[in-house]
Amino acid sequence: MPSVFHIVVCGSIVPDPLQTLEPITTPTGPALKNELMLPAVLDPWAWHALFEAANLAKNNPGSKVWLVALGPKAKLQQVMMSVAQKAPFELVVIDGPASGFTESAEVASELAAAITSIAGLDKTKLLLFGGWESASRGAGTTLPMVGERLGITDQFQGVDQISVQPDGSFEVLERIEGGKHQVSTCAGAPALLGWATGNLPEPPNNPQVGMANMRTLMPALQKAKPAKVTNTGLAYASVALPKQRRETRIVKDMPADEIAQEIVAWIRAD
């Protein structure tokens, strides 16, 4: 008998990776230049988590997917117009900053509170999905903090695959060092899975799915609650783009040992 899961995906918007990002200092702290004008997309790692959640729900009838997003609701509305056509989900919006210059603990507190307030959510069936990493909040700490606040102690990071067993347990394929995977078995929900890239392709656009999602998207955006992310006590010594360096020499017949020594010396001098 298929298991029934309540799958909550945590994911927000980030600037389009093709854009040039320039950090600046503002009276309220670090930010990106013209951030509100930059084209936005759903965080790539959250994309994978959402695809996996939709696939899992499809293969386990009765399951449901929620997408919980913290970000400026005007920008979220633009992005969700395209995301809505990819997978069925119910949107939960928290109106607040999507910048990477935020404190993980405060973001986790807001996300946990929003998840707790979801009507009809059964925590005994809860699978908390999200990105193992993030294009903005890439500290790798936010999702585990959300899980801890919800009392979820079975946590898996760097997940590429989940296989549900007939008894409701599931196997998890996690990335570990050396290009290998670790296979773990979890007795069942609740559990947290921080996804890597997985192995599912991006779903095609489905206008019917988009229309069904739109029935809940707009009301969710309209009743979005403001987030209390104040970054109290958070300070940055400096914010700058990585330095670009290119030093090229063309040398013929140089022994490999000497090349290696030069590379090591260059790295140590950096």
What is the mean pLDDT of each successive set of 10 residues along the chain, which is 270 residues long? 86 80 73 77 88 92 92 86 88 83 83 91 92 73 90 92 89 87 90 88 87 87 81 68 71 87 83
pLDDT of 42 reads 86
pLDDT of 150 reads 93
pLDDT of 245 reads 67
pLDDT of 171 reads 93
Q: Which residues contact residue 119 at a Cβ distance below 8 angstroms, ignoring those fewer than 6 apart?
A: none
pLDDT of 76 reads 86
Proportion of the chain above pLDDT 90, given as a percent: 28
Three-state helix/strand/coil letters over 209-250: HHHHHHHHHHHHHHCCEECCCCCCCCCCCCCCCCCCCCCCCC
Would you call the peptide bond into 204 cis, given omega within 30 degrees of 0 as the criterion? no
pLDDT of 8 reads 95
pLDDT of 221 reads 85
**What is this structure's pTM?**
0.81
Question: What are the residue boundaries of the structural domains of the chain, listed by start?
Answer: 6-226
pLDDT of 203 reads 85
Pairwise CA distance, residues 26 & 120, whole Å: 41
Domain 6-226 has CATH 1.10.1740.10: no
Pairwise CA distance, residues 155 & 259, whole Å: 44
Per-residue pLDDT tens digits for 9-37 = 998 888 877 777 777 777 766 777 777 77
**Phi, psi for 78 (deg, rounded to 5):** -60, -45
